Structure 1
Amino acid sequence: MTNKISAGTLTEEELRELVPQLQQLTEKYKRSEQIQRALFDISELAGSISELSRLYNAIHEIVGEFMNAQNFFVALYENDEKIVKFPYFVDEFDEGVLKELPASDLMGGITGYILRSGNPLVLTEETFLEQGKKLGFKSFGKIPIDLIGVPLKRGNRVIGAMVVQSYDKDVRYAQDDLDLLIFVSQHIVNALDRVKSRELTEQTIRERTKQLREINDELQDEILERQKVESLQQALFEISEIAASIEGEMSDFYASLHDILARLLSAPNCYVAMLNDKQDYLEFPYYSDEIDSTIESRPLGHGLTEYVLRSGRAELIDASRVKELADDNELDKQTAENMIKHSNSWIGSPLIVEGVISGVIAVQTYGETAKYSFRDLELMKFVSHHIAVAIERKRAAEAIQKYNLQLSKKVRERTDELHKTNVYLKKQIEERKEIELKLIHDAHHDALTNLPNRVMFNSRLELAVANKNRYPEHNFAVLFIDLDRFKQINDSLGHHAGDMFLIEVASRIAKCIRAHDLLARLGGDEFVILLDSFDDFTDVEEVANRIIYSIAQPFTLEGKEMYSGASIGIANVDAGYQSADELIRDADAAMYQAKSLGRGRYVLFDTSMRQKLLEELELENELRRTLKAESFDCHVQSVLDFNQDTYLYHEFFVRWVHPTLGKIKREQFWKIAQNSGLTLEVDNYMLDQALKVLSHWKSLSGAQSEQKIAINLSINHLSQSKFVNQLIDRVKAADIEPSNLVFEIDENELNRRAQFMLPAIKKLKRIGVILVLDNFGSGLASLSYLYSYPFDFVKIDHRFVRSVTRSKRNYSLIQSVLAISDQLSFKLIAEGIENKDQYQALFDAGCHYGQGLFLEPPMSMKTIMNRDSLPRRQNVS
């Protein structure tokens, strides 16, 4: 509510009463104006001042305008460092003392209370001690008459304190002063933040500017250095260029070197000094000097040039250095005096080529203003090497040019002679080309048949594979051909006949294919064909049938008629193939399949064949592991004497039980052993086990046991005399009577190399080993074996025994063999007797020895070795 007062309605007394109120109101407005001006000044300072130190001083002045603030300080709390800094501190007693203190030292004082509590504080001399006890603080330094402290806050967080204090009793503070400081403090914080931010920004700008300036200086230095390097490179290039030029005089060459050198360093004066051939005289092919226009050659003395020649390194010599050298008698006195007189600065560097000093190149200046530096010395040292090479090349080129002039005459004289020589060389080159063509041909062709070899075939096949992958509509096929009876032809008729056989085979196959097909010999009796661009697979089958028919026709070799055959594996070149080796591998697999199906046929490859090969490979690996671990199942099956009802001997054999495929058939087992070359190892394993059994029986009898044990001996053990000798040595080493050992030899294996086996069989017979011809009748059943070989027993094949009760022919065969057994001194053993009828028929025919499940089943070796008595036959008749 506003009262309207009219001066005309008030008395003088009432007016006097209003004067104090008006004065108070005037003071209030005046103070408000001061505060507004202070805030405005603070805002202006925050926008214009970039250094905090100036801001604190200005704030002090502003605060001092509306209250007595002679003693004034600002404290800032650094929370990370746990310290209190005093960026501004004015105190008539403690001024200049405080900069910063650990927070722990101040938290118990007035400043610490404001920082901890965030509350303003008003203290007077009268209330100081009482407030200190109440609020929990103590004084540091002189106790003031009056004190006002307000917190500086950024949001709700206390960042510092601002304090004014008075030590004068006439200067006291009131509540208005506290309100004023509280009001101003927040604006001061804002100003501090703005100035601090600007100060940090300007500091960052200054540091970044300094960095950029340093980087720029570095770049300028690098540019300058690069320019120097480029100048040096250009100079070296020019030196190389003028050295390579064969035209021009040497004097011009040296002058050009001087010009190039002058662009790299100050070289108003330059000379080149060279040693003569005897190394005792200096010659100056080039000399340019602003004082002395000429110089004479001279013997070696004690000059600057001679000093560099003696030291072998580049030297920088000036007036001070020359005096030292003269005092050390390295230079003559006259040279030293001349240098000092002219204030010379001289650099000389040796000219070294392949470690030999041939001379010196030197530059020099006169006067105090032009002096050489260490960098000039290093540059001269570097360039002098290239100059030395250039001088040597130029001198060599000049010498060569002179020598060429001398040679030109000799060249003319020898032109006729060289013409004759060229004719001769041309003839030699032509002969050499023919030889090279023959070498190339031989490298890609078989020497015997003149067919392409494996290298050339693989190369062509790789192209076919690439062609098929690029053009799927093109058809290719690989035929892998293996010949029958080639080994027998070689062994019986000799290698020459074998070679003639292969040549004839190559000729026959070549007639069965087209001109653009490729026939190659891989080696031995293996041939391959690449059929190119056929229309249908029937074309491939037709080629295969022609080849099979052609090879099946008789061959005349060494006047004898021989027969062979061909097994062919076919692999179509499909888009999935990546290499020639894959195709040859698959065609080879198909060929083996054709052989296993009966030979004289062709088979087209399919993936099951590859799987079969992988399985056979896995079986071979498993056989090796089983053989190494000796983990076969070992068994013994006895051969009986029917008349005595006793054991004739015990046949030892092994069974192989595969971990996943189960029991492996005996035929497959021996096929894997033969293909992997392990037959000798299997033989040795069985022999070792048989010898263990015999040793066990010998230990039980207390004397030499009459029990005999047999093993099946592969033909490989009889193919070489060393294998037979090793076999005999193993028997002797076991301390076993050879007569207790029986070796059974398979008739089918004997058929393959019968003519080579007789000496080995006789050697075994001589040491007392009992010999048995096993599976008689399963192969050729040749009676010549019975006449020629000293077998003690002949074991007739189980297939004849199985059908003896229903086949008169087989029964008659057994009777016939029995009829000649007495005359040829061998006894017949019937193998595979499975029932009583078979046993009775054989007994009635006169066969008194047999083996089979009906007579006695096999017994494991483990059972035999665990027994503590010799085998005894129980009479069951």
Structure 2
Amino acid sequence: MSVKFGRSPAHEGAAQPPLPERLLRASSPQSVVQAWFEADPQLDTHCACVVWSTHWPRDIEAFPPACADAKVIADAIDAVARIRAGENDDVNPRVLYDDGEGAVAVLNSPHAPIDLCQASIARLAETLDLRRMRESVARLEQAEKLQRSLYAIADMAGSDLDMPDMLRGLHRIVADLMYAENFYIALYDRDRDALRFLYFADVVDDQILLPEEEIPLARIERGLTWYLTRDKRPLMGSTPELMQQVSGPLRLHGADSSDWLGVPMLRDGDVHGVVVVQSYTGDRCYTTAEMSLLAFVAEHILTALERKSGRAELERHVVERTQQLQVANSELRREVSERERGERLQAALYRIAALASLDETTGNFYRHVHAVVGELIDAKNFYIALVSDDGGTVSFPYAADQYERDWSARSFGKGLTEHVLRTQRPTLVSRDSAMTMVAAGQIDAGMLGAPTLQWLGAPLLSTEGAIGVVAVQTYEDANAYNERDAELLTFVSYQIGSSLQRRRAAELLRQANAELEHRVEARTLELREQIAVREQVEAQLQHQVVHDALTGLPNRVYLRDRVERALAGLRRDDSVGFGLLYIDVDRFKVINDSLGHSAGDQVLQQVSRRLAGCVRTPDVVARIAGDEFVMLLEHVQDPQTASKVAQRVLRALAPPLHVAGREVQLSCSIGIAIADGQCESVDRILHDADVALYRAKDAGRNRFVLFDDAMHQTAMGVLDLEQALRDALMRDEFEPWFQPIVRLDDASVVGYEALLRWRHPTRGVLTPSDFLKVAEDSGLVSQIDWRMFRLALEAARPLVCAARDGVHRYLTLNVSPRLFLHTDFDKRLLELVDEIGFDPGALLLEVTEGTLLGDPDTVVAMLHRLRERGVEAALDDFGTGYSSLGHVHQFPLRMIKIDQSFVAPFANGVPSRSSALIEAILALGNALGTEIVAEGIETDAQWGVLRGMGCVYGQGYLFARPAPAGHWLG
């Protein structure tokens, strides 16, 4: 039903003023909108509605009020949000005005668009802005009113008014801020757990509460005032609302009010009283703002009461002292002395503050501080202690003591100094109280030091806590300290701490400036040196780019360029051939490992000189990597010529070299490739020479081999095998086989080792020796390993985790060293174990000694992370690596597997030289708590010898050969 807003009956027949005149007369948004609606009937016809607010989207008003339901309000809020987000549309509702700060007006016309009256909208905006400014003025007036009230409270506290008059004045001030016809103030005595109602004014409750009368809290238990005191938080509302706010059942004492507001008077978190206003009329409702206002005013009321009480107390003391003037003459002199002492304290504080700004050494500063403290109290025995930034050390930069001589820094312990640092409070300790603290475990008796009668210390505080302690002590009864001395030292400690902070900040600033200046000077010098070096570098750069830094020979870049040019000449004229000699120094790694890299570098330098003497111009000798060299022999078509050069190289390296005081005998392996018209690239001829080189190494080293078609076919076979491996991964031809690990005393199975097998479609089942090298060279071994891990875990789960005989066994996986180069290997393996649902406590990883010693720190960290999840490690082929007994204790190992080369000599049951090593390994395993497994047991004799030596576990063909998982489950 639409609501019609036509002319009122009183105005029917009378001419209305024109709209502009009515708009000018309108002083509120309500009157502007009403004039607009009366002047434009289509607004009424289309059920239009205007909503506005100066605190959008709060306190929204509407005209006509009956049209502003919840949906209209929500649509208006959404429209304003779209406009502010930059979505400018003219759909209904339409935003008439938005100042961006809260003044908003929106037109809702659900039935049809409305032609907007710009004059009405402009006047509406003006009245909204005017209202917002009036509200701001009102808020300022309220703040000013509150400020005046607080000033008035402060004035009353310092006035000559007696307490009742002051309390009545406080009542008038609160009543000026809110409805407070019914008002009372009560003070709480925590020691007596009682209230005194200093002021009580109530038009309904006629009980009489005298200011001097104490009301125990137990008398008003569970009442509103009781909850204010106990819960320490304001309460506001009607009785049902208050029942929801209190922490327990509510019991009314006195008359029941329609609205009640009370706040506690707090000081440092403790309740000192309450202030309460209440209404019985039913038409008053206190607001949250009034509750906050009353809480704020209550703090000042508490301050005023305390000041008034203090002043009254002071006046009472003045009267008493006046009456007892002659008797209290000595007390008066004491007060004069105290004032003089206060003046001295003030002067001392000023002097200490001035010391912080003087450009003096730290030692002089501390001596001046000592002198100043000595003017206030007995400071013959005086020291300053400072705590380190990490809180672990206490140092004594200054000390003067008639007994103590050792003032070196010490670790943070349980001394009196540390006690003050921990509590951050001044402490006065006598000999007896020190013994009490020792008995309570607060300090150590051994840190009491010299025979001190009294010790007084105060913390040196900064914004971040205690940074040190200033302390004095006495060894004589005549110089005893009291609480006044403690108070004086505390005051001084504040200034000393502040001064130390300022000096430290100034020192840090000076150091920073000095460091900055030094860095600028150093950087300037460095830039000059860099400019000079850069000129030299640019001059050497061309040479270094194409030459080896160690030997001075051409490098790989230079060699490739020369070979490219030789190939270009060969393409132009196929009669101009050339040859390559790929040279590798035999067993060069042994020289590096035994004599060191420096000796190895000297060897390479001498080798390069000998090789350079084996060629003629324009032939080239280049070092392309480590101990690998290449000779380019130009204009060589006959392999015999290249072979003669190779023989010359072998002879040149035959004489011994003298390196690091030792005589070193060298040899080399040489691969020869001759380029012909079929050679299509540099990489091809380098590859051919490299293949020939490795054939020479395989043939026994210290020889040369000429590349031929048979080698080419072998290389092609490797490529075919590599492709077959890729196909095997795609067709999932790899599978795990398992070999048991047994207990030697009864041959019972305790675990299985997973072994890789390739079920080749034409060649049958292949072991890793048939394809592993090609897999490693091609980079496929990592994919094969992870596929093997997944298949082994899936197949072995029923073997080790749910054995039919109820015995839980373990599974070992062989892990190649390259997998430990990946920092996420452990995380990836554990994710795979969790995905498959394999028990990590039943899994062991077999690693070689080379893996452990490659990067020990990284491997140890990774094995520890795996052990935390239950995955253990086993050392495979133990005894064949590097200094095994000297390194094995460094690694978290559960198992050590003795290499089968140490077991083989026991085939006939006769003890061999391996016995001593195996006994040492067994002793090492027992000492480290590590299981020992002997590999390669193939005869009963070996079984018997190992069992007699105390070896517990074994593995080999004697017990079982590797087989698929189904074999062991059948």
TM-score (norm 2): 0.39
Higher relative CO (CA 8 A, sep ≥ 6), structure 1 or 2? 1
TM-score (norm 1): 0.43
Q: Which one has the largest radius of gyration?
A: 1
